[in-house]
Amino acid sequence: MQLKCNALKDFSAIWKGDFLGQKGFLLPGPKSYVMGETLQVDVIVTGEHWGSVEVMPVWHNLYGVETELTPRGIFLRLVTSDQTFERKLAALE
């Protein structure tokens, strides 16, 4: 699977360094994944390969009440990542 972001602000909008105490991606929209199943994802930002990560869907709010604490979407918890992705994240901080 590929996660493509056309701009750095698009990546920043979905990357969560602390969502329910976990790091990962909060993807908007109604798309669903199998909870607990790991996914291999290539992260591409502005056409540049930022690395590969392994994520696991652990939380979703597809149809419930949408608040600041329970946004709409699905959260993919970061399980593992390669050094390239870690370097790119460190450069953002």
Nearest to 81 by CA among 21, 23, 5: 23
Record the pTM.
Answer: 0.91
Q: How many residues does the chain have?
A: 93
pLDDT of residue 57: 96
| 68: pLDDT strictly greater than 90 | no
- The domain total for the chain is 1
Q: Are 19 and 26 in contact (CB under 8 A)?
A: yes
CATH code for the domain in which residue 87 is found? 2.40.10.220
31 pLDDT above the threshold of 90: no
Of 38, 51, 49, nearest to 81 by C-alpha is 51
